[in-house]
Structure 1
Amino acid sequence: MSDFDEDPVLSDVEGEEEHLKEAEDEKVEVQHLTQEIISQGLSLLCRTGNGLAHAFVKLNLQKRGLDDIAAINSYIHIRFLDLSNNHLADLSPLSSLTQLLWLKQPFAQLTYLQWLSIAMNQLTDVDGLVGPALESLNLTGNRIQRLNGFQYGSFANLVTLELRGNHLETTDGINLPHLQQLYLAQNAIKRLEGLEKLERLTTLHLRDNQLESLDGLSPSMKCLQYLNARGNAIIDENALRYIGFLSQSLRVLVLSGNPVAENSEYRINVLILVPQLERLDKNPVFPEDRAEAWERIRVTKTKYIFIFGFIFYPFDLVALCNFRNFEKRKCMRNKMCNYGQNGEVLD
Structure 2
Amino acid sequence: MSEIEENAVLSEGEGEEEAQEEGHGEEEDKVQVCHLTQETVTQGLSLLCRTGNGLAHAFVKLDLKDKGLTDIAAISNYIHLRFLDVSNNHLTDLAPLASLTQLLWLKIDSNAVACFKGQPLGQLTYLQWLSVAMNQLKDLEGLVGPALESLNLIGNSIQRVNGLQYGHLTNLATLELRGNRLDTTDGIYLPNLRRLYLGQNVIKRLEGLERLERLTTLHLRDNQLETLDGISPNMKCLQYLNVRGNAILSQNALRCLALVSNTLRALVLSENPLAETRDYRLCVLAHLPQLERLDKDPISSEERTEAQERIKELKEEEIPEPEDL
Same fold (TM over 0.5): yes
Q: Give the whole-Å Cα distance in 2 for the aligned partners of 1:187 and 1:60.
A: 33
Show the counterpart of 1:280.
Answer: 294
Q: Unaligned regions of 5+ residues in structure 2, if any?
A: 1-5, 35-69, 320-325
Cα shift readout 1:88-118 (whole Å, capped 9, x = no counterpart): 41553533x5334456532221111111111
Show the counterpart of 1:340.
Answer: none
Does residue 1:215 correspond to 2:192, yes or no?
Answer: no
Tell me, what secondary structure is at the counterpart of 2:241? strand
| Structure 2 residue corresponding to 1:131, chosen from 127, 134, 145 | 145
Show the counterpart of 1:197.
Answer: 211
Following superposition, the deviation at residue 304 of structure 1 comes to 3.1
TM-score, normalised by the number of residues in structure 2: 0.75
Q: CA 1:127–1:285 in structure 2 vs 1: closer, same or farther (change >3 Å)?
A: same
Show the counterpart of 2:71.
Answer: 59
Does residue 1:109 correspond to 2:123, yes or no?
Answer: yes
| Structure 2 residue corresponding to 1:98, chosen from 108, 111, 115 | 111
Q: Give the whole-Å Cα distance in 2 for the aligned partners of 1:255 and 1:226.
A: 11
Q: Give the whole-Å Cα distance in 2 for the aligned partners of 1:72 and 1:134.
A: 17
Alpha carbon RMSD of aligned pairs, Å? 3.3
Show the counterpart of 1:78.
Answer: 91
Following superposition, the deviation at residue 285 of structure 1 comes to 0.5
Q: Unaligned regions of 5+ residues in structure 1, if any?
A: 1-29, 306-347
| Structure 2 residue corresponding to 1:268, chosen from 282, 286, 289 | 282
Following superposition, the deviation at residue 53 of structure 1 comes to 5.3
Q: CA 1:76–1:211 in structure 2 vs 1: closer, same or farther (change >3 Å)?
A: same
Show the counterpart of 1:337.
Answer: none
Q: CA 1:178–1:53 in structure 2 vs 1: closer, same or farther (change >3 Å)?
A: closer
Does residue 1:182 correspond to 2:196, yes or no?
Answer: yes
Show the counterpart of 2:247.
Answer: 233
Q: Which letter maps to 1:289?
A: E
TM-score, normalised by the number of residues in structure 1: 0.70
Q: Give the whole-Å Cα distance in 2 for the aligned partners of 1:49 and 1:124.
A: 31
Q: Give the whole-Å Cα distance in 2 for the aligned partners of 1:33 and 1:126.
A: 36
Does residue 1:87 correspond to 2:100, yes or no?
Answer: yes
Cα shift readout 1:315-339 (whole Å, capped 9, x = no counterpart): xxxxxxxxxxxxxxxxxxxxxxxxx
Q: Give the whole-Å Cα distance in 2 for the aligned partners of 1:37 and 1:182.
A: 43
Q: CA 1:259–1:273 in structure 2 vs 1: closer, same or farther (change >3 Å)?
A: same
- In terms of mean alpha carbon deviation, does 264-273 or 296-305 score higher? 296-305
